Amino acid sequence: MRNRTEFQGYELTLHHQGPTASRSDDFDANWEIIQSALKQIHTKNASHLSFEQLYRNAYNIVLISRGNDLYGRVQQWEKDWLDTQVSARATAAISPPLLLAKDVANVQDQANERRAAGERFLQVIKESWEDHQLCMGMITDVLMYMDRVVTADHNKPSIYVITMALFRDHVLRAPIPNHPELVVANILESTVLFMIHLERLGHIIDRPLIRHCIYMLEGLYETVQEEASGKLYLTSFEPAFLEASKVFYKAEGQRLVETGDATEFCKRATTRIAEERERCTYTLSPLTEPKIKEVLDNELIRAHISEVVNLEGTGVRTMIDNHRLEALKEVYVLSSRVDGKKLPLTAAVQNRIVEMGRDINASALVTATKLPEKNADGGKKAADKDKEKPINQQTTLAIKWVDDILALKTKFDSIWKDSFESDQVMQSAITTSFSEFINSNTRSSEHLSLFFDENLKKGIKGKTDDEVDALLENGITLLRYIKDKDLFEAYYKKHLSRRLLMKRSVSMDAERQMISKMKMEVGTQFTSRLENMFKDMAISEDVTASYKTHIKKSGDPDQKRVELDINVLTSTMWPMEIMSNSRGDEVQLACVFPRDIERLKKSFEEFYLSSHSGRKLTWQGNMGTADIRANFQRPNGKIQRHELNVSTYAMIILMLFNDLPAGESLTFDEIKAQTRIPGHDLIRNLQSLAVAPKTRVLKKEPMSKDVKPTDKFFFNSDFQSPFMKVRIGVVSGGANKVENQDQRKGTEKRLNDERAGSIEAAIVRIMKQRKKLVHAQLMTEVLGQLSSRFTPDVNMVKKRIESLMDREYIERIEDDPPTYGYVA
C-alpha cells in the first residue's frame, strides 16, 4: 500500500511515498521518463505511453518541490525541439520564388511558380503549427499538476502558453539562412498577401489553407499575458494586409474612374465590398472586417464618389434621366457607407431637380411671356377673336405646369423609395429642391390655384371618389412646397368665388374635401375665410327663399314679377377687391338699374335690412347674371323669341333699347352716361353683345373689334340663333384664367398691403408681449410667426417697424444694439 494515510484511533500518521533521501534521484529518474515521453509525443508515437504514469511522475516531482525545475526542463526541451526539428523544416520549405521582392505588381510572370511554392510552404507551416498545438495540448495535460502548482506559486504562465511563445520565437521568428534580414513570418506574410492578391485578380486560391495559417497567427500572442490585442495576427499580419489592400484599391479606384462609367464603378465597388466581407469570413479573420471596410470606404468610395456621381454621361444625372433605379440605388448605398449626408449624391439630385424644374417653369412661361406683351399694348384695343385662345392656352399651360411638376414629383418619389431606401436626408434634400424651383416661379401660386379650379370645374367629372382624392392630394403636395401661402389663398379665394357665384363647381363635396385637406395642410387660419364663403352661399339660399315667400305674402300679383336670386356676401371674406368697381382713383358711382330692377332692389333691401339692421348692402352688378326674354321683330313680321342669359350689366344695356324706338341707336358714351357702368366692364359687355359672332344682339357702327366712345349701337332684330336659350358670356370675364400683367400688379399690390397688415399685427403682438426686444430678435420672431403663411421680405418688415414707430406703437429705446420698446 502506497501513499496511504492511516488513521489509528485518533492518532494520525502520514506515510509518504519513497525515502526522502533520494529526492534528486527521484527527480532525474522521473525526468528521464518524461523526457522520453516528450519525444514520443512529438513523433506521434504516444499510443504506448500511459498518461497515468507520466502524470504520476510529474506529480511526484512536484511533491518533492521540484515542479519549477521540471517546468524549466520542459521549456528547454521544447525550445531545442523547435530549433532543431520544426524550424529547420519550415525554413527548408522556403523556395527561391518566395524570396522574391515583395512587390506584387508584376505577378503575372512567375505567378504559377510562386503560387505552387507558396502553397507548399503554407502547408508546412500549417502542419507544424497543428502538430505543435496538438502535442503541447497532450503535454500540458500530462503536466497539469505541475502547471497548477507553478502557475499558482510562481505566477508563471501555463507551460502551454510558454511553449506557444516558443513556437512564435523559434519557428516564426527564425531567421532564414542566407537572408538574415528576413524571418519565416515575413515570408508567411508576403505569401499570404500574394495569394490574396491573386484572388483579387480573379484566381482561385486555397482558402482553407490560408485560413489555417491565420488561425495560427490568431492563436499566438506577442506576450505570455495573451492580451487579445497582442495577437500576432493583429500586430503583424493585419497592418500589412490593410496596407496592401490600400495600395490595391487605390489603383483600382483610379482605374475604374478612368473608364468613366459610373454604373460600372458602383457595380465593381459593391462586388468588392462583398468580396472583402467574404474574405474576412472565410480566409482571414472577422476581426478585420471593420478595418478592411474602412479601407474600401476610404480608397474606393470616399476618394471617388463625388467624381463618380458627377461623371458626364453616366453619372447620377443620366441615371435619373433614364430612371435607372438599380444604378441609383448602388450609388446611394455606396454613398451612405461613407457619408451620412451623402453630399455629392444629394447635390447631384438636387441640381437635377432644379434643372428639370426650371425647364418646366420655362415651358410654362414661354407663352406666358409672349402674351403679356400682347396684352400690354393690346389691352386697350378692341376685342379680338384670337384673344380668347391664347389666354385659355395660358391657362392650359398653367395646368400643364402643375401636371409636369406632379409627374416629376412622382418620378423622384419612386427614386426615393426604391433607390434611396426612403432615406430621411434624401427626402429633405428633394423637398428643398422642389420648393426651390417651384418658388422660383413667381406664378406658382396662381398656377396651382388654377389647377384646382380647372379640376373642380371639369377635371373631376366622372371620376371616382378615390381618384378625386388622389388628384386633390397631389395638388396639396405642391401646396406644401409653396412658400407664399397667402398669395395662393388670394388666388384660390378669387377662383373659388367665381366658381361659387357662377355655380361652376362640379361637386360641392369635392370643394369641401379640398378645404378640409388644406386645413390639415396649412391650418385653420388659412381656410377660415374660405369656409365663410361657403357659409355665405348657404345663408344666401335661405335669404332668397324667405324673400320669395315674403313677396308672395305681401306682393301685388298683377305686377310683372322679376324673379330674384341673390347672394349676400360678407365683404371681408370675399375677394371684393377683385369684384369691386373701383379702379384706381376713379370714383365709381353705383350703376343705374332699370326701374323694375331698381324697385326689386329696393324691395329686397327693405326686406333684408328689416331682419339684419345696421348692415349695408352693396350691389355687385358685375357679378350677376340675368335671364331675359327678348322678342325679335323679324322683317316678315314674325316675332322670334329667345331667352337670353346675360350678365347683369348686359341686361341693363339691353333694357335701354327697350325704351328706344326701333332703328334708333345709342353711342357708347350715351350708354355709359345712362347706366354708369364702369368703362371697362361696359366695353367688355358691349363686345360680347355686339362683336362676338354668335351673340350679336346689338349691332355696332362701325363694325370693328374695338369699342370706341363714339361707336353707335343698334338693336339687332335680325338676331339669329339655332337655340332657344342663348347664353351670352362676357368677354374674358367669367372664366378663371391666368391674370394679365395689370391684374397681376393689382394682385401683388393687394397682397403686399395685406402682408404689411399681417406684419404690423405680428410686430405689435410680439412687442405687446415682450415689452422690450432687440431688433434681431424681433426680426426672427416676426419671421417665425409668419412663415406658415409667407416669407416676409426683410425690408418690408423694417419698413413696418419704422411705420409703427412713426405711429408711436413702438419706440426705439436703445441704439446699440438697436432695441425697441412697446408703447402702451
Partner 1 sequence: MAATNSSQSEYVTIVSGDGFEFVIPRSTACVSGTIRRMLEPSSKFSEALTGRCVLENISGVVLEKVCEYFCYNQRNKNQTNVPDMDIPPELCLELLMAADYLDT
Partner 2 sequence: MDCEVPLPPPPRIRHRSPSHRPAAPSSLRKTYRLSRLDDRSSQPSSDPALFSSDDIPASGLENYHAPVSSGNRKRRYRGTWWGEMVKDPKRKRADFKDKRLVDSGVWMGSDESGADSVLPSSEASNWGEDFLVPEERLNPLAQSLNQSSLQGQQRGMGVRKVEESQEHQFARTIVNDCLERGHDSVDLSNAYLKVVPPDLLQPLQHLTKLPTVREAPVTEEVYSSLQPFLRLFLAGNGLTAVSGGLFELDALRVLSLRNNKLTDIPPAIRQLTMLQEVNLSVNRLQRLPWELLWLIKKGDLKHLTVRPNPLMPIEDAEIAQWHYPDETTPESIEGALKMSQYEGPAPEEAWAPIHVATGPVRRFNMEGFPVDETRLSGGRVSEPDRTATRVPSLREVSLLSFSRSSFFDQIPDSEMTEFPALMLRLLRYAREVRNGGGRHCSVCHRAFVIARAEWIEWWDCATYENGLKGPRTPGESLRPLPFRRLGCSWSCVPRVEIESGPECP
Residues lying near partner 2 in the complex (CB under 8 A) are found at: 7, 10, 12, 14, 16, 62-63, 65, 137, 140, 148-149, 152-153, 158, 160, 226, 228
- Judged by beta carbon distances under 5 to 8 A according to partner kind, the member of partner 2, partner 1, none in contact with residue 204 is none
Residue 723 binds to partner 1 (criterion: CB under 8 A): no
Residue 33 binds to partner 1 (criterion: CB under 8 A): no
Q: Which of 18, 29, 33, 46 binds partner 1 (CB under 8 A)?
A: 46
Q: At how many degrees (to 10) do helices 159-167 and 67-81 cross?
A: 20
| Residue 619: DSSP 8-state | -
Report d(CA 648, CA 624) in Å as an integer: 5
- Judged by beta carbon distances under 5 to 8 A according to partner kind, the member of partner 1, partner 2, none in contact with residue 16 is partner 2
Residue 50 binds to partner 1 (criterion: CB under 8 A): yes
Residue 178 CB-density burial (10 A; 0-12 exposed, 13-18 middle, 19+ buried): exposed
Report d(CA 287, CA 715) in Å as an integer: 99
Residue 49 binds to partner 1 (criterion: CB under 8 A): yes
- Judged by beta carbon distances under 5 to 8 A according to partner kind, the member of partner 2, partner 1, none in contact with residue 55 is partner 1
CA-to-CA dists, residue 102 to 192, 212, 410, 431, angstroms: 11, 22, 55, 53
Q: Name which of 160 and 534 has its Cβ closer to partner 2.
A: 160
Residue 4 binds to partner 1 (criterion: CB under 8 A): yes
Q: What are the backbone angles phi and psi of residue 271, rounded to the nearest 5°?
A: -65, -45
Q: How far is the CB of 397 from partner 2 (least distance, A)?
A: 60
- Judged by beta carbon distances under 5 to 8 A according to partner kind, the member of partner 2, partner 1, none in contact with residue 153 is partner 2
CA-to-CA dists, residue 667 to 568, 670, 683, angstroms: 34, 5, 12
- Judged by beta carbon distances under 5 to 8 A according to partner kind, the member of partner 1, partner 2, none in contact with residue 212 is none
Joined grid coordinates for residue 400? 400643364
Report d(CA 226, CA 747) in Å as an integer: 82
Residue 1 binds to partner 1 (criterion: CB under 8 A): yes
Report d(CA 411, CA 320) in Å as an integer: 9
Q: How far is the CB of 215 from partner 1 (least distance, A)?
A: 17
Residue 52 binds to partner 1 (criterion: CB under 8 A): yes
Q: How far is the CB of 259 from partner 2 (least distance, A)?
A: 46
- Kindly indicate which of the ranges 40-48, 168-176, 564-572, 749-757 contains the residues binding partner 1, using the contact rule CB under 8 A: 40-48
CA-to-CA dists, residue 480 to 103, 434, 435, 444, 790, angstroms: 61, 10, 8, 12, 12
Q: Which of 32, 141, 596, 814 binds partner 1 (CB under 8 A)?
A: 141
Q: How far is the CB of 220 from partner 2 (least distance, A)?
A: 12
Strands 639-647, 725-727: pairing is parallel
SS3 423: coil
Length of the chain (residues): 824
- Judged by beta carbon distances under 5 to 8 A according to partner kind, the member of partner 2, partner 1, none in contact with residue 389 is none
Listing DSSP states for 504-564 in one string gives --S-HHHHHHHHHHHHHHH-HHHHHHHHHHHHHHHHHHHHHHHHHHHHHHHS-TTS-----
Residue 2 binds to partner 1 (criterion: CB under 8 A): yes
Q: How far is the CB of 224 from partner 1 (least distance, A)?
A: 22
Report d(CA 226, CA 157) in Å as an integer: 10
- Judged by beta carbon distances under 5 to 8 A according to partner kind, the member of partner 1, partner 2, none in contact with residue 65 is partner 2
Examine residue 818 and say whether the peptide bond preceding it is cis (omega within 30 degrees of 0).
no
- Judged by beta carbon distances under 5 to 8 A according to partner kind, the member of partner 1, partner 2, none in contact with residue 237 is none
**813 and 820 Cβ atoms separated by less than 8 Å:** yes
CB atoms inside a 10 Å sphere around CB 249: 24
The contact mask relative to partner 1 for 146-165 (x = CB under 8 A, - = no) is --x-----------------
Q: Name which of 47 and 106 has its Cβ closer to partner 1.
A: 47
SS3 650: helix
Q: How far is the CB of 153 from partner 1 (least distance, A)?
A: 14
Residue 29 CB-density burial (10 A; 0-12 exposed, 13-18 middle, 19+ buried): middle
Residue 96 binds to partner 1 (criterion: CB under 8 A): no
* Residue 243 identity: E
Report d(CA 274, CA 657) in Å as an integer: 90
Q: Which of 27, 59, 488, 657 binds partner 1 (CB under 8 A)?
A: 59
Residue 32 binds to partner 1 (criterion: CB under 8 A): no
Q: Name which of 26 and 739 has its Cβ closer to partner 1.
A: 26
The contact mask relative to partner 1 for 116-135 (x = CB under 8 A, - = no) is ------------------x-
Q: Name which of 150 and 543 has its Cβ closer to partner 2.
A: 150
Q: How far is the CB of 60 from partner 1 (least distance, A)?
A: 9
Report d(CA 541, CA 538) in Å as an integer: 5
Q: How far is the CB of 62 from partner 2 (least distance, A)?
A: 7
Q: How far is the CB of 21 from partner 2 (least distance, A)?
A: 15
Q: Please state the three-class secondary structure of 310-334 as a single string.
A: CCCCCCHHHHHHCCCHHHHHHHHHH
Q: How far is the CB of 135 from partner 1 (least distance, A)?
A: 9
Joined grid coordinates for residue 438? 417651384
Q: Name which of 10 and 723 has its Cβ closer to partner 2.
A: 10
Q: How far is the CB of 36 from partner 1 (least distance, A)?
A: 14
- Judged by beta carbon distances under 5 to 8 A according to partner kind, the member of partner 2, partner 1, none in contact with residue 149 is partner 2
SS3 102: coil
Site size toward partner 1 (CB under 8 A) is: 26
Joined grid coordinates for residue 62? 512536484
Q: How far is the CB of 140 from partner 1 (least distance, A)?
A: 9
| Residue 791: DSSP 8-state | -
**212 and 219 Cβ atoms separated by less than 8 Å:** no
Report d(CA 162, CA 183) in Å as an integer: 20
- Judged by beta carbon distances under 5 to 8 A according to partner kind, the member of partner 1, partner 2, none in contact with residue 152 is partner 2
Q: Name which of 140 and 736 has its Cβ closer to partner 2.
A: 140
Q: Name which of 153 and 473 has its Cβ closer to partner 2.
A: 153
Question: Closest by alpha carbon to 407, among 351, 445, 368, 353?
Answer: 353
Q: Which residues bind partner 1 (CB under 8 A)?
A: 1-5, 7, 12, 46-53, 55-56, 59, 134, 137-138, 141-142, 144-145, 148
